[in-house]
């Protein structure tokens, strides 16, 4: 019996490791595509649901899809009502694992094929780079997943021969509820409904349990996923809590309907409809699992608007508008964490530029500038970037490097803002007042591009204009410096006024250079993205 338990544990471990490798690699491969898909194909609840199904099937992880949804709701790119559709779709898409196990893992003995897949994937990971290395990890994970299923099946055959599970019949309501509880606990312990359902399918294929027991266990396993969602939302942003709430309510309500109506319907059909009775029980469970999620979609999709209103009232937004979507849970999908950080940095940059414009045009004075919120935002972004691990994808690595550079420039501009009072000195001198006004006009254009949704590439003409302004200011620096010194020599300026003007002139030249470098950097950023 001990050997059987060890074999069972090893099989589950191999499955989880394979699933983790495959999912992480697919998320890295599809990270940016995942982001673009959600932006383009979620403009209605129905399209959002199909997007959730498609993305989850592609990356084999409803968690990745859910986290992506959290990030884009927070960023304002995706409405919360459409996010509900994506989450419902993710619950349907995650049933693809059951179909994969039922049609391949338990129908055919592929353990001999699994080992070469693991070897080939590992070699590809070691020898190749970037996308090929990620594909290698995906292949190795796929092989490990099915090797784990084979080990699980053997262990379940041993359990069927040595343990009598007939006492867990589904004849009484209490027995059914106990089986639901067992399924619930299985998902919590394994931290994966896919692993719990796979172990259950292996037990069914080995005749350790019967079809009725399996169906009730699957209901409990689906409910068990809500614990992971709740734990992920503890201490997280309001968007994460709302998303978790959708997941919890969807699964619990669907489970109740499935227990009361879907389960009895499947049992009756299996007993009294001949062609269904002749079907492979494992395949019936895969159908049941999909019908479970489809039932939830039928219940919730017509009422998404009201569902959204209720959740918005129950969980009102409390975080800062700028930092509310810097969610730690997005770290597991690097492309999304990078996109969320980019959004905050671009808005922070916009806020800094607006302060410069207002001051140059005399709309505000130094005592009116309150930078406490700005400083808090910059500090939080820097902390968020510090905890972000280096992504595996080369394109994501390049995006992260550019974000780090942008964060440095924002810190430099924030320091420039401390000396914004220099503008008052420049505006009093006719030979110096043109530069700040020209800069203000360029900053206004930058803000227009920064506010575009989604953020688009800076036109090359605009970057060239700013570069030209930077060159002119640099070329004039020595000439204007000599003019100021000449005015001082002729006693038109005091010594202190001369020093102040020289410092102010140096400040505006540096500020123009910094804004030009930011524009060039953001243009590079878009070229990398495209």
Q: What is the predicted pLDDT for the residue at 408? A: 93
Which of 254, 280, 314 finishes a domain? 314
Asked if residue 86 lies in contact with residue 349, where contact means CB atoms within 8 angstroms, the answer is no
Is 426 part of any domain? yes
- Same domain, yes or no: 425 and 459: yes
Q: Are residues 276 and 397 in the same domain?
A: no
In a domain, 326, yes or no: no
Q: Are residues 352 and 435 in the same domain?
A: yes
Q: What is the pLDDT of residue 256?
A: 94
Predicted confidence at residue 232, as pLDDT, reads: 65
- 352 in the same domain as 496: yes
- Whether the CA torsion 494, 500, 504, 505 is positive or negative: it is positive
Instruction: Among 128-132, 144-148, 331-335, 342-346, name the one with the lowest average pLDDT.
Output: 331-335
Which of the listed residues 314, 343, 378 is the one where a domain comes to its end? 314
SS3 labels along 441-477: HHHHHHHHHHCCCCCCCCCHHHHHHHHHHHHHHHHHH
Give percent of the chain with pLDDT exceeding 90: 12
Specify whether 33 is located in the same domain as 123.
Answer: yes
Which of 281, 314, 347 is the endpoint of a domain?
314
Highest mean pLDDT among 60-69, 367-376, 443-452: 443-452
Mean of pLDDT values over 341-356: 90
Is residue 175 predicted with pLDDT exceeding 50?
A: yes
Residue 523 domain flag = yes
- Rounded Cα gap, residues 84 and 39, in angstroms: 15
Question: Which pLDDT score, from 0 to 100, does residue 530 have?
Answer: 41
- Assess if residue 6 is contained within a domain: yes
Residue located via tokens 């219940």: 299
Confidence of residue 33 (pLDDT cuts 50, 70, 90): low
399 and 310 fall within a common domain: no
Q: Are 148 and 119 members of one domain?
A: yes
Cβ neighbours of residue 274 closer than 8 Å, sequence gap 6 or more: none
Identify the residue whose tokens are 């353990």. Answer: 111
Q: Which of 418, 408, 406, 422 is nearest to 509 (CA)?
A: 422
- Residue 34: its pLDDT value, please? 62
Q: Give the pLDDT mean for 460-472.
A: 85
Confidence of residue 528 (pLDDT cuts 50, 70, 90): very low
The CATH number that applies at residue 342 is: 1.20.58
- 125 and 159 within one domain: yes
> Domain count of the chain?
2
Q: How far apart are CA 499 and CA 481, in angstroms?
A: 10
Q: Report whether 97 contacts 196 (CB < 8 A).
A: no
Instruction: Kindly state the DSSP code that residue 262 receives in the 8-state scheme.
Output: I
Per the CB < 8 A criterion, the answer to whether 407 and 379 are in contact is no
Task: Specify if 427 maps to a domain.
Answer: yes
Domain of 174, in residue numbers: 2-314
- The pLDDT value recorded for residue 449 is 84
- 351 shares a domain with 301: no
In-domain check, residue 324: no
Is 208 part of a structural domain of the chain? yes
- Residue 260 has a pLDDT of 92
Q: Same domain for 426 and 347?
A: yes
16 and 88 within one domain: yes
Task: Provide the pLDDT confidence category of residue 259 given band limits of 50, 70 and 90.
Answer: very high
| CA gap 17, 300 in Å, rounded | 34
Q: Are residues 77 and 109 in the same domain?
A: yes
pLDDT tens by residue, 383-420: 888 888 887 777 778 888 988 999 999 999 999 888 87
Percent of the chain residues topping a pLDDT of 70: 76
Asked if residue 327 is part of any domain, the answer here is: no
CB-based contacts of 512: which residues, under 8 Å, 6+ apart?
Answer: 435, 439, 469, 470, 473
């Amino acid at each position: 019996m001990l050997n059987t338990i060890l074999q069972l544990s090893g099989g589950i471990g191999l499955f989880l490791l394979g699933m983790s490798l495959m999912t992480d690699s697919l998320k890295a491969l599809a990270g940016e595509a995942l982001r673009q898909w959600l932006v383009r194909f979620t403009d209605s609840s129905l399209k959002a649901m199909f997007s959730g199904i498609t993305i989850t099937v592609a990356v084999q992880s409803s968690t990745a899809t859910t986290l992506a949804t959290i990030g884009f709701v927070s960023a304002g790119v995706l409405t919360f009502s459409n996010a509900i559709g994506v989450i419902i779709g993710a619950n349907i898409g995650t049933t693809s694992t059951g179909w994969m196990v039922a049609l391949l893992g338990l129908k055919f003995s592929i353990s001999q094929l699994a080992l070469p897949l693991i070897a080939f994937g590992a070699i590809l990971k070691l020898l190749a780079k970037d996308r090929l290395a990620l594909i290698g990890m995906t292949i190795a994970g796929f092989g490990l997943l099915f090797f784990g299923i084979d080990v699980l099946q053997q262990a379940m055959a041993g359990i069927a021969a040595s343990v009598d599970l007939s006492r867990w019949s589904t004849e009484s309501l209490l027995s059914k509820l106990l089986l639901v509880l067992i399924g619930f606990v299985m998902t919590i312990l394994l931290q994966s409904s896919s692993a719990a359902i796979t172990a259950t399918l292996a037990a069914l294929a080995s005749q350790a349990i019967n079809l009725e027991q399996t169906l009730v266990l699957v209901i409990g396993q689906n409910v068990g996923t809500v614990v992971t969602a709740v734990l992920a939302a503890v201490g997280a942003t309001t968007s994460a809590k709302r998303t978790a709430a959708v997941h919890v309510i969807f699964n619990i309500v669907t489970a109740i309907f499935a227990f009361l109506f879907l389960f009895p319907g499947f049992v009756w059909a299996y007993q009294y409809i001949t062609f269904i009775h002749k079907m492979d029980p494992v395949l019936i469970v895969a159908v049941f699992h999909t019908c479970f999620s489809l039932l939830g979609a039928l219940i919730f999709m017509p009422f998404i608007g009201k569902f959204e209103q209720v959740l918005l009232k129950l969980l009102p937004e409390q975080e800062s508008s700028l930092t509310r979507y810097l969610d730690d849970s997005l770290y597991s999908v690097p492309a999304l964490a990078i996109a969320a950080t980019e959004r905050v940095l671009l808005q922070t940059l916009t806020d800094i530029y607006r302060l410069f414009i207002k001051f140059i045009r005399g709309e505000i004075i130094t005592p009116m500038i309150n930078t406490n919120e700005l400083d808090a935002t910059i500090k939080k972004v820097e902390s968020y970037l510090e905890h972000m691990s280096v992504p595996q994808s080369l394109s994501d690595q390049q995006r992260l490097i550019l974000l780090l550079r942008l964060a440095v420039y924002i810190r430099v501009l924030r320091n420039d803002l401390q000396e914004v009072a220099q503008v008052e000195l420049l505006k009093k001198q006719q030979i110096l007042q043109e530069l700040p006004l020209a800069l203000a006009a360029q900053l206004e254009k930058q803000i227009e591009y920064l506010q575009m949704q989604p953020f688009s590439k800076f036109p090359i003409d605009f970057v060239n204009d700013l570069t030209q302004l930077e060159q002119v200011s640099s070329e004039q620096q020595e000439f204007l410096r000599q003019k100021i010194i000449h005015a001082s020599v002729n006693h038109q300026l005091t010594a202190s006024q001369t020093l102040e003007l020289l410092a102010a002139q140096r400040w505006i030249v540096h500020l123009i250079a910094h804004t030009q470098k930011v524009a060039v950097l953001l243009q590079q950023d878009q070229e990398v993205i495209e």
